[in-house]
Amino acid sequence: MKIKWTILVCIINMGFGFAQNPIFTNVFTADPSPHVWPDDPNTLWVYTSHDEPGSNNHYGMTGYHAFSSTDLVNWTDHGRILHLENVDWAESHAWAMDAAFYRGQYYLIYCMKEAGIGLFRTGIARSDSPQGPFTDLGYVKGVEFGQDPALFIDDDGTPYLYWGHDRKCFAAELNEDLMSIKPETYVDLTPQLTHVFEGPWVHKRKGKYYLTYPGLTPRRWPEKMFYAVADKPLGPYEFKDVFIDDFEGQSGTNHGGTVTFKGKDIMFYHSAWMSGGLSETRSSMADYLKYDKNGDIIPIVPSKEGLGNAKRTRTTLLLEAENGFAAGGELYNVFVDTYIKGYSGKGYVTNFDNPYDHVSILAQVAKPAKYRFIVSYASPDGDSNHDILINSHIYREFKFPQTKTFKEIDFGLVDLKAGDNLVRIFKKDWKPSKGDIAIDYIKLVQVFEDEQ
């Protein structure tokens, strides 16, 4: 019976193609911010905020994720890249963010409510790699009610900040350290942006500046996406039109940005397709963006196919062991080293020499599901045995055969629950092994029901 059902699912998929929207189905994401960084034109990066499963409002949002892909089908979720816990001036509301590459480093610009005051500030964090983790630098001075920031670096290297909330939108040039605005450049764009509510995003095309934004018509919620065009980054902007109207399964909010990847323009935005329509537990969407001969945006009708109907997207959660703590996990009585060459990222975790020494990583997922559990490790001096704990479930004693160089080992399928999962590699009992293990990264590969 099971075989027949699997064949039927395959036939259906062959005949109609796989849906690629929502684009990330492993975790609930919102406010997607897509980028191609200048040093790597073959990789598309998408930075998102994160909705807790079943939360249905935005008050409990706490952190951000980064995704990357080279083919728009296979995606890597680099896990949690920044969290409220890493931002000492903030207390809540990790709402929309954007990212930028500026003077050789990667920046995340985001909004959170300031501790003790409860008003939005625009925070800025830096990393030397696009996947983070990011280190908070403080909030941008001169920005009041700094919700939904977007950081646009013009071709001449000048940084501009846009932000908007509650039917208002503002912009200003930033000082070179990105930590404050130039007050003399501050402009209130609200009157130029018909129906604006929040979420400005700027991209440049053929010398024109396009400002896209979620807006509310007099009919109010849900939000639609509108745009306006200008000859200069700070305007004046000419209002154009709506370009993502109401659609079935939308959430109350919409928010996103555009990117040109391998010659094609793509719009990222969000919907409630995965959580079931008009819910505020949201998922990122992507559709191609086209312009007419006058440079006007041709309205997007959200499609199930998304960026291609040949294959469904698959996301692998890739968590570098050395980032464990910053990304929501823990390094307990182990340390980060770089002596054995060939690791990915910035190093590996080693020194598991006492019972319960461990590395744990945080795996945030949308729904209870099975994931393929893969570990990249080296164990140069001999075989090593370790246990894997996922939440409160000890899987079994896993054998890591001797290997002098880093290699991936596939431990098969494991169960993750909706929400936060703590995945821990540790030694339960003291059993001497010949060599100390070095854990490079942990991968959790999405496995669909018809593949199990």
Site residues (CB under 6 A) for ligand FUB?
Answer: 30-31, 49, 58, 95-96, 147-148, 198-199, 253, 255
For residue 5, give the DSSP letter: H
Instruction: Please say which residue, 228 or 416, places its beta carbon nearer to ligand FUB.
Output: 228
Listed residue (351, 348, 358, 361) closest to 406, CA to CA: 348
Q: How far is the CB of 155 from ligand FUB (least distance, A)?
A: 27
Rounded Cα distance, 283 and 30, in Å: 6
Compute φ and ψ for 355, nearest 5 degrees. -55, 140
Instruction: Please say which residue, 198 or 322, places its beta carbon nearer to ligand FUB.
Output: 198
Instruction: Please say which residue, 170 or 406, places its beta carbon nearer to ligand FUB.
Output: 170
Instruction: Please say which residue, 148 or 440, places its beta carbon nearer to ligand FUB.
Output: 148
Contact 170, 162 (CB under 8 A): yes
Q: How far is the CB of 273 from ligand FUB (least distance, A)?
A: 15
Instruction: Please say which residue, 79 or 146, places its beta carbon nearer to ligand FUB.
Output: 146
Q: Which residues contact 341 (CB under 8 A, 6 or more apart)?
A: none
Compute φ and ψ for 394, nearest 5 degrees. -85, 120
Q: How far is the CB of 54 from ligand FUB (least distance, A)?
A: 16
Q: How far is the CB of 65 from ligand FUB (least distance, A)?
A: 13
Q: How far is the CB of 151 from ligand FUB (least distance, A)?
A: 15
- Could you tell me how many helices (H) and strands (E) the chain has, helices first? 1, 33
Indicate the residue whose CB is closest to ligand FUB: 95
For residue 417, give the DSSP letter: -
Q: How far is the CB of 123 from ligand FUB (least distance, A)?
A: 13
Q: How far is the CB of 283 from ligand FUB (least distance, A)?
A: 12
Instruction: Please say which residue, 146 or 419, places its beta carbon nearer to ligand FUB.
Output: 146
Rounded Cα distance, 378 and 384, in Å: 10
Listed residue (297, 299, 244, 296) closest to 269, CA to CA: 244
Instruction: Please say which residue, 97 or 388, places its beta carbon nearer to ligand FUB.
Output: 97
Rounded Cα distance, 221 and 128, in Å: 39
Instruction: Please say which residue, 251 or 421, places its beta carbon nearer to ligand FUB.
Output: 251
Q: What angle do CA 133, 137, 141 make, to 5 degrees?
A: 140
Q: How far is the CB of 280 from ligand FUB (least distance, A)?
A: 8
Rounded Cα distance, 370 and 372, in Å: 7
Rounded Cα distance, 431 and 385, in Å: 8
Instruction: Please say which residue, 30 or 336, places its beta carbon nearer to ligand FUB.
Output: 30
Q: How far is the CB of 282 from ligand FUB (least distance, A)?
A: 7
Rounded Cα distance, 31 and 240, in Å: 22
Report the chain's terminal Cα–Cα distance, integer Å: 14
Contact 74, 316 (CB under 8 A): yes
Q: How far is the CB of 27 from ligand FUB (least distance, A)?
A: 14
Rounded Cα distance, 237 and 160, in Å: 15
Instruction: Please say which residue, 29 or 350, places its beta carbon nearer to ligand FUB.
Output: 29
Q: Which residues contact 15 (CB under 8 A, 6 or more apart)?
A: none
Chain centroid to CA 385: how far? Answer: 34
